Amino acid sequence: MDRSRITDLYFAEARSKLIDLAAFLDRIERSKGTDDFRMKAFRAALLELGTAGPEKAKKILLALSDPTEEPVAQAGTKSASGAWAGR
């Protein structure tokens, strides 16, 4: 499928998500306080969007992932936060 057809299919949806993302950052920056580890990881991952080359989704997922290799001593919590706290 050529680029024109892919653009036709997905541009409106992606545009909407892009504006939602910008509005989210505006909302964060209007609020009091400072970025926690999730927002720091989020801003770092955002930089991948502006780079050239393939696998942007993979690079963003990796930027938000725990890069360590050994099991942790105990689970502590059951839920995931979306970003690795240790970075």
Partner 1 sequence: MVSRVTDDYAAMVTAGCRAVCEPAFWAGFDRSSSQGFYDYFCQLTDYEPRRAAQFGLPHYSWLCLNPKEAENMSLAEEVLAMIPSFLDRPNVLGIGEIGLNKNSRNEVTIFEKHVELAVRYNQMILVHTPHLEDKWKGTRLIVDMLKRNQGVDPARVIIDHVEEHTVDIVLDAGFWAGITLYPQSKCTPSRAIDMVEIYGAQRLWLNCACDWGHSDSLAVPKTAIEMKKRGHSEAAIDQLIYGNPLQFLRQNPKFHVDETIEEVHRDAPQK
Instruction: Please give the size of the binding site for partner 1, defined by CB under 8 A.
Output: 29
- Using CA of residue 45, residue 51, residue 53, residue 11, what is the dihedral sign? positive
Q: Would you count residue 64 as binding partner 1 (CB under 8 A)? A: yes
Which parts of 1-60 interact with partner 1 (CB under 8 A)?
1, 5, 9-10, 55, 57-58
Stretch that binds partner 1, among 18-26, 27-35, 43-51, 73-81 (CB under 8 A): 73-81
Residue 85 tokens read as: 């706290």
Q: Cβ-count burial of 4 within 10 angstroms (0-12 exposed, 13-18 middle, 19+ buried)?
A: exposed
Element (H, E) at 44: helix 37-46
Residues of the shown chain interacting with partner 1 in the complex, contacts defined by CB under 8 A: 1, 5, 9-10, 55, 57-58, 61-62, 64-69, 71-84
